[in-house]
Structure 1
Amino acid sequence: MARVSATRVSPDRLPLITKVARLYHERGVRQPEIARRLSISQSRVSRLLKEAVELGIVRTVVVQPPTVHSDLEDEVRDLYGLADVVIADSASDDEASILASISGATAAYFETTLTGHDRVGISSWSSTLLAAVDKMVPKNVSTASVIVQVLGGLGAPTIQVKATHLVERLSAVTGAVPVFFSAPGVVASEVVRDAILADTSSREAVDEWSRLTVLVAGIGSIAPSPMLKDSGNAVPSGELAKLSEAGAVGDICLQFFDATGRLVETDFGTRTVGISADEMRRIPRRVGVAGGERKWEAIRASLAGRWIDVLITDVATARWLVANPIAETAGDGGPARKPDPITA
C-alpha cells in the first residue's frame, strides 16, 4: 500500500487519527465503542483507521517466534523452486528428536492442507510417516477421498503389517476410503513384477495411481538407518551396494536417483513393485518428508531432480541445503553433470 505523506493531511486531523489508532490497536477498544466515546460514526472510525495505515502511523510488523523459521523456509523454497517448505524445530540433532519434530510438522501440514477431494498416495512403512499419522486428530468432515498404498512391502510379514496400519490410520483420520496394495516391494524378475501389477488383486490400487492428487513419502538415503536395517524393512545390502556403484544416493518409493536427481536405471528398478517414476512425477503435489545429516545428500538430490515439490524437514537440514546448492540439476530425469564432491 502506498503511503500518504502526513504533510498532505490537515494538522488538525492528525491528533484524531492517532487517538483512534491507539484506542483500537494498543488498547483493544472495538470500533463501535470508539465511535461512542468520540461521538463520531463507526464508518468514520473505519476510515480513520485505514488512513492511519496509509500515513504510516500504524505499521504492521510480524514478529517471528524463535521456533518458527519462515525466512529459512522461503530461502529453501526459492532456491530449489519448490511450492512449499515446512521446517520443524527440533530439540536436538539426534535422529529421534528430528523424527519427533518432523512427524509433528507433517501431521499439522496435512491437517491444514488436505481438501475433501484429495486422492492421497502413501509409500509403505516409514517410521516418520507412521508417527505423523498417529499424531493427526480425526475431524468431523472428510479431508480426503481415498488413501492409496503405492509401494509393496519389504521385510518380514510382521513388519509389512505396519504399512497396512499406516494406510488404515491415515484413512481413519481423514475419513477416506483405504486402498491397500498387498504385494512384495521387490521380486526376482521383471516378469514377476509385471504379473503382480497386472493381477486382478492389484488392479484397484494400480488404477488409482494415475488419479492421485497428492503423494506423501519419505526420502531414503542409500544407507538405511540402524533402526530401519534392524527392522528388516530395508533393501538388502547386496542390492544397495550395486545401486551405490551405479551412483545412487537416495530414493523415493524405491525409485533411486543420483546426486543430481537423475533416475538410476538398474536391474533393481525393473523388479520394484510399485508406482513408477513417470507416474510419480505426474502427481500434482508430491510431499517429501525427511531430515537429519545422514539424509542431506539424498534430500538435496530429490529437490534437484524435481522428485518432490513440497519438503518437510528440520532446521539443520534446511541450512545445509541453502549452503550447498547444486548448480546443475537433472530437471525431470534428463542428463546432468554430477556436482563436485560434498565437503560440508
Structure 2
Amino acid sequence: MSRSAQEGALIAVGGDQVRLMTRVARMYHEQGKRQSEISDELHISQPRVSRLLKRAVEVGIVRTSVFVPPGIYTELEEALEERYGLEQAVVVDADGAHEDVTPAIGAALADYLSATMTGGDSVGISSWASTLLAGFGALKPFRAPVADHVVQLVGGIGNPRVQMQASRIIGLFQAATGAEPILLPTPAVLGSREAGAALLGDPAVADAVNAWESLTLALVGIGAIEPSGLALESGNAFPDADRQRLEAKGAVGDICFRFFDAEGSLIDSDFDGRVIGVDPRVLKAVPRRVGAAGGLKKVPAIRGALLGGWINVLVTDRAVAEALL
C-alpha cells in the first residue's frame, strides 16, 4: 500500500478508531498478549479485538515481511514454476559448475519426499539415477507405510557389481516407505525392436508393465546425451553408433532411456524400440512426476524434460535454475 493510499484509508477510519486499532495491534504483535487478555484490559469484546486486528492489516498499520534465510531460493523456485508450468520446484545451494551436486540434490529430494508423501502412493522409479540413490540414502524411514508399491521403470540387468547399486535404489526406497517392490528383471536395452516387443509381452515382466498404468508418483533422473558413469559401468550404456544417430536426430537428454530433443519431443528411432521400460505416454500420465538432476552440463536435457512435460516437479541446483531462467 502506497503512503498516500494508507493516509486516505486512515482518514476514512477516523482518529479514535485508528488509535484503538494501533493500541490493539501493538499489544497483540509486539507485547505478545492474547486476544482475550486485550479484551479484558481495554474492556472491549473479543470479536471486536479480532476485527480491529484484521482492519489494522488492511489499512497498513500492521505489515508482514518474510525473512528468507541464506540458502533458500523461493524466488527462483517460483520463477521456475511460472516459466515452465511446474507444480513445484525445489532449488538447493550447490555449485553446478564446479562441484558434484549429487549429494545436495539427493538431500533436497529426501526432504521433499518426507514432506509430501502421506500414504497410498504407487511409485515408479528409474533405477539408474545417481541422484535417486543419494536421495533414498538420505531418506529417513517413515513411521508408517506411505507407499503401496515401488515399481522399476526401466530394465536393470547389467554388470553384477553395479547391478547391486540399481537394486539398492529400490531397496532403500522400500525400506524407508514400506512399499512392496515390483522389479523389472530385464536388461534396459536389447539388440532389436522385435526382441524388445517380445520381452515386454513376457509373463515374467507383466507385473511391472501392468503396475505402470496405476502409478501416482514417478521419481526419475534426467540424463544428458552422454551416458552417466553409472550407466557406463553397468553395461546398460548404448554403443557410440547409437548415440551418434540419436544426436544427429537432435537428442539432448533422456528419462528412462527415452531420448528427447531440445523441445522435449520423443526421438523416433530404432533405439527407442529396443528399450525395456515404461512407455512415454504412460509416464506422462502419472499425476506427479519428479525429476531430480543438476549440474550445468545437464541444462539442455533438463530444459527439454520441462518443455516436453516429462516432469512436473523439479529438484535441482541454483546454477541450473538460473540457467533455465
TM-score of the aligned structures, taking structure 2 as reference length: 0.91
What is the 5 A alignment of 1:147-166? 147-153=150-156, 155-166=158-169
Tell me if the contact between 1:155 and 1:234 (Cα under 8 Å) persists in the aligned partners.
no
Q: Which residue of 1 aligns with 2:83?
A: 79
Tell me if the contact between 1:125 and 1:160 (Cα under 8 Å) persists in the aligned partners.
no
Q: CA deviation at 1:184?
A: 0.7
Q: CA deviation at 1:275?
A: 0.6
Tell me if the contact between 1:154 and 1:186 (Cα under 8 Å) persists in the aligned partners.
no
Change (3 A) 1:149 1:178: same
2:219 corresponds to 1:216: yes
Q: Which residue of 2 aligns with 1:288?
A: 291
Q: Which residue of 1 aligns with 2:66?
A: 62
Q: CA deviation at 1:69?
A: 1.4
C-alpha distance in structure 2 between counterparts of 1:74 and 1:308, whole Å? 16
Tell me if the contact between 1:154 and 1:235 (Cα under 8 Å) persists in the aligned partners.
no
2:238 corresponds to 1:235: yes
Q: Which moved more, 1:311-320 or 1:7-16?
A: 7-16
Tell me if the contact between 2:155 and 2:277 (Cα under 8 Å) persists in the aligned partners.
yes
Tell me if the contact between 2:128 and 2:231 (Cα under 8 Å) persists in the aligned partners.
no
Q: Which residue of 2 aligns with 1:122?
A: 125
Tell me if the contact between 2:96 and 2:317 (Cα under 8 Å) persists in the aligned partners.
no
2:295 corresponds to 1:304: no
Q: Which moved more, 1:122-131 or 1:188-197?
A: 188-197
- Structure 2: runs of 5+ lacking an equivalent: none
Change (3 A) 1:284 1:170: same
C-alpha distance in structure 2 between counterparts of 1:214 and 1:28, whole Å? 43
Q: CA deviation at 1:31?
A: 2.1
What is the 5 A alignment of 1:81-96? 81-90=85-94, 93-96=97-100
What is the 5 A alignment of 1:1-344? 5-90=9-94, 93-96=97-100, 98-153=101-156, 155-226=158-229, 229-230=232-233, 232=235, 234-322=237-325
Q: Secondary structure at the match of 2:150?
A: strand
Superposed CA deviations along residues 190-241 of structure 1, whole A, max 9, x for unmatched, are 2222232222221111100011111110000011345653565533434323
Q: Secondary structure at the match of 1:120?
A: strand
Q: CA deviation at 1:290?
A: 0.8
C-alpha distance in structure 2 between counterparts of 1:25 and 1:271, whole Å? 64
Q: CA deviation at 1:25?
A: 1.4
TM-score of the aligned structures, taking structure 1 as reference length: 0.86
Structure of higher RCO (CA pairs closer than 8 Å, 6+ residues apart): 2
C-alpha distance in structure 1 between counterparts of 2:48 and 2:319, whole Å? 50
Change (3 A) 1:143 1:63: same
Q: CA deviation at 1:92?
A: 6.6
- Structure 1: runs of 5+ lacking an equivalent: 323-344
Q: Secondary structure at the match of 1:262?
A: coil
